[in-house]
Amino acid sequence: MDHPTGGDPPSGMVIHQLDEDDWDPDGPALGGLSGICYDSSRQVYYCISDKAPARFYTLQVDSFGAAPEVIDETRISFTRGLEPGSVDPEAIRLHPDGKHLYWSNEANSTVYRMDLEGRVDRCYPLPRAFQPDLNGTGIRTNAGLESLAISPDGSALMVATENMLKQDEDCASDWMPPYQPLRLVVLSISTGQIIHEYLYFAENGHGLVDLVWDEVDHLLCLERSWSPLTGNDILVFRADLRAATDVRSVGSLCELDPDTVRPVTTRLVYNLQAGRKSGFNPYIDNVEGLCPGPPFPNGKQTLTLVSDNNFSRRQVTQFIQILPIP
């Protein structure tokens, strides 16, 4: 398994910074944009905020290179019996039918389905092994379901935790350095059952914060880390599922043989840190979401990333457009 750590900055990268003036000062503060997806039929983006009240924004993009314009805020409402105890939305995806949005709730390791008006009508809870737990299993605080993808045919969802599950940490030394073992979990949209689970190695010190399922057996994976010395380190990998071992029956990754198990294979395609270090871009903030964006005039597909400003005056909301998706 080889995660390259070099790489060049992406060419054709355009960065837009959303200012406070772009939103109604009398409404809820715009920020915390931790997930993004693109609706090609309406030519808008949907961005979900990771703070209460649960809501998502609709943003208009007139052309490639133009700053997104916030056109609507939609509050998320829950059908009786589906109300979560707490809400921390992290990723959002549009179903290929264009009628439903899916989003992951880090607070309770559950994926929710809603219509475009924000009405939730179904949920997909992950098993107890992925729930917060005080007995040495489950997710750690603020390290849960950051990422979400939907299969091209709309039949399955894929989720992953940002960092290792507690029950997998005891054997982390078997995989590190320089990796930390994570799980990619595939859920059936029709039944909600886990149908596959794959081993994914994130760069040591990085968290997996978003996924795009752009082909039947391939993903784009967004990893992020931060330090006070180097700032934000943003990497985008292309992942291949075809040879990966299905580990859905494994209670702890410590049960696996590191010499025989086959993880998801990856290759680095974009290194946004390389751009910052070379002076190509002096500042990239806390990027948490990515999605395919509108096509470039020549027909090539773009990739759009969004940063979460954490409602802090020291951070900003950025939209980053890259051409092309490799």
The residue type at 226: W
- The pLDDT value recorded for residue 272 is 83
Which domains occur in the chain, in start order?
14-322 (2.115.10)
The residue type at 76: I
- The pLDDT value recorded for residue 125 is 96
Q: State what percent of residues in the chain have pLDDT above 90.
A: 56
- The pLDDT value recorded for residue 1 is 44
- The pLDDT value recorded for residue 59 is 93
How many C-beta neighbours within 10 Å does residue 141 have? 8
Please tell me the distance from the alpha carbon of residue 163 to that of residue 147, in angstroms, as a whole number: 11
In sequence order, what DSSP letters do the residues of 12-26 get, joined into one string? T-EEEEE-GGGS-TT
Which runs of E-coded beta strand occur in 95-161?
Answer: 100-105, 110-115, 119-125, 145-150, 156-161
Which residue positions in the chain have pLDDT lower than 70?
Answer: 1-11, 19-29, 64-65, 175-178, 274-282, 325-326
Q: Tell me the whole-structure pTM to 2 decimals.
A: 0.92
Judge whether 34 and 288 are in contact, CB under 8 Å: yes
Judge whether 148 and 211 are in contact, CB under 8 Å: yes
Tens digit of each residue's pLDDT (9 = 90 or more) over 240-289 = 999 999 999 899 998 998 889 999 999 999 988 755 555 555 578 899 99
How many C-beta neighbours within 10 Å does residue 155 have? 13
- The pLDDT value recorded for residue 3 is 46
- The pLDDT value recorded for residue 177 is 64
SS3 content of the chain, % helix, strand, coil (to 5): 10, 45, 45
- The pLDDT value recorded for residue 110 is 96
Judge whether 168 and 253 are in contact, CB under 8 Å: yes
Which residue bears the tokens 């949005």?
Answer: 101
